[in-house]
Amino acid sequence: MSETFRVLIADPIHEDGRKLLESTPGFSIDVETGLDAESLIARIPSYAALIVRSKTRVTAPVIAAGAALKVIGRAGIGVDNIDVPAATERGVVVFNTPDANATTTAELTIAHLLSLSRHLPQADRSVRGGAWQPTRYVGSELSGKTLGIIGFGTIGRLVAVRAAGLKMRVLAHDPFVAPEIMAENAAEPRDLDALVAEADYVSLHCPLIDKTRNLIDADSIAHMKKGARLINCARGGLVDEAALAAALESGHLAGAALDVFVQEPPKESPLLKLESVVLTPHLGASTAEAQQAVSVRIAEDVARFLTTGAAETAVNLPRVSSEQLSRMRPYQELAQSLGRLVCALSDGPISELVVRLFGAVAELDPRPITAEALVGLLSSRLAGPVNRVNAAHLAPAQGIEVREARSEQARDYVSLVEVSAVTQGVTTTVAGTLLGGRLPRLVRIDSYDVETVPRGHFLFTQHLDQPGVVAALGGILAREGVNISRMHVGVDGNGGAEHAIALISISAPLSQAVLSEVQALPAISKAVALEL
């Protein structure tokens, strides 16, 4: 007798998603929305799947109560209302639908682009108020203008193609996307400074992380064209709203269109008082088609996982045996550190990642180890969840080709994991091993031999092999009150005597100002602050 999968839909989803599940053989569907925590805990034990949107909170107690629970589906992007670590610990797979509303958000951007250029909201209010002032609302044609797109993921690429259809010239900036990917999507690559200086319109489509918070600030706005316009349908924290308001009031910028804000709703934002701003209440995913798309997509993912075990787009890990996990875990942890390191040392978009296993580790399946190297590489480059289930799925979207190689012949160590990244024809290679089969050690960076624990904050330098370099570095760190816990100076294993590297384990991260001071030292050719 075949197994029957019970599915509880705890938040409203589009009927097409529900019908898809109901029509799948072996599925029994219950819809019960508005459950409080206690009621959900009482209901969940017999269900194999739980589907929610943003309202229902799937906490650790809910997951613990799900004795039969195998999968949680979130019809939407964010999984903040789901305790993903608790789900992972119990072997429960979590899905979301990150790209299902990409078209909708891209179209909203184009709508803002047109509305902003032709003053449509202001003109509408004017006519409703009894005025008739066509000369007051003279607009700008988009044809022949330049659109600069910051962030070239799925949504950014859709916007680029649509803008090109409007006969606009499109520029794109994304340090983690290869120029070839941009060219395939009708965009010319630019660095950030060049993009904001050339663009008539700047549209934001990047994630909100520490490095992008207030990306558009007073300085970047000052470098924009006089009369340029800004559009943000991504995340509110990308824009310094006070700086934007000042630029609009001064006339340096001609207008802005915002769907997202630092605080939502933006009750205290200075932008609310400005006529030159078009505002919408976070409508990026608010279309009937998007609601249908996320519902159908999550239904498909849940049904496929329960019937076949496929979890390519899951945001966490499916259950693995304890025996497999115990053998694989230390190499996976090492590979993730190596992925983070090679990412930090690589300048520009990475087109290829190669993971090689030598010696005893080559007896293991390389795919989980490669996936963990990708987790380390991609986690610092993408805002969404990256894990060993979806890392291999995300890599091609970033223009990264992934290769694996194994050799049971040892290279200096009983087991060696080597990770290489190719950036614009330049290959950066790092390698590590396990001491005693469990303690990770970094042992090589390119041709330089090193030996350190890959954990914590580091300062990496490549410099001329001459007296005084290490002393200069130590002096700067001492002045900043940064303690050195470990330091390794590596020499070229190929016999080169001109250059050396230093890998310094430090007690705190370095500010950009301090790192710039290190980079300015005459003997230093490269300096990178990183965290492993």
In percent, the amount of the chain with pLDDT more than 70 equals: 96
Q: Which residue has the higher pLDDT, 86 or 197?
A: 197
Q: Work out the average pLDDT over 242-250.
A: 96
Confidence of residue 1 (pLDDT cuts 50, 70, 90): very low
- pLDDT value, residue 489: 86
- pLDDT value, residue 323: 56
Calpha distance 7→18 (Å, rounded): 10
- Tell the CATH topology of 320-446: 60s Ribosomal Protein L30; Chain: A; (3.30.1330)
Q: Is the pLDDT of residue 487 over 70?
A: yes
- pLDDT value, residue 321: 45
DSSP-assigned letter for residue 216: B
Q: Enter the CATH code of domain 455-532.
A: 3.30.70.260
DSSP for 152-189, please give it.
-SHHHHHHHHHHHHTT-EEEEE-TTS-HHHHHHTT-EE
Matching fold, domains 320-446 and 455-532: no
Q: Is the pLDDT of residue 532 over 70?
A: yes
Q: Enter the CATH code of domain 5-99+289-308.
A: 3.40.50.720
Q: Is the pLDDT of residue 64 over 50?
A: yes
**Range picked from 51-55, 92-96, 353-357, 507-511 for highest mean pLDDT:** 353-357
- pLDDT value, residue 82: 92
pLDDT, tens only, 378-388: 988 887 667 77
Q: Is the pLDDT of residue 506 over 50?
A: yes
Confidence of residue 320 (pLDDT cuts 50, 70, 90): very low
CA distances (Å), 518 to each of 326, 522, 526, 527, in order?
A: 41, 9, 9, 7
Measured in degrees and rounded to the nearest 5, phi and psi for residue 86 equal -65, -40
Residues contacting residue 524 through CB under 8 Å, at least 6 positions apart: 461, 462, 463, 469, 518
Alpha helices for 309-463 (secondary structure H): 322-345, 366-379, 391-397
> H or E segment at 451?
strand 448-452
Furthest CA-CA distance within the chain? 84
Q: Work out the average pLDDT over 247-252.
A: 96
- pLDDT value, residue 477: 92
pLDDT, tens only, 440-451: 999 999 989 899
Calpha distance 202→151 (Å, rounded): 11
Domain ranges of the chain: 5-99+289-308, 102-279, 320-446, 455-532
Confidence of residue 102 (pLDDT cuts 50, 70, 90): confident
Domain 102-279 classified CATH 3.40.50.720?
Answer: yes
Q: Is the pLDDT of residue 306 over 50?
A: yes
Do 190 and 148 meet the contact criterion of CB atoms below 8 Å apart? yes
Q: Is the pLDDT of residue 318 over 50?
A: no
Confidence of residue 338 (pLDDT cuts 50, 70, 90): very high
**Site of tokens 């002096």:** 475
Q: Is the pLDDT of residue 251 over 60?
A: yes
Q: Which residue has the higher pLDDT, 310 or 123?
A: 123
List active site positions: 235, 264, 282
Average pLDDT, the chain: 90
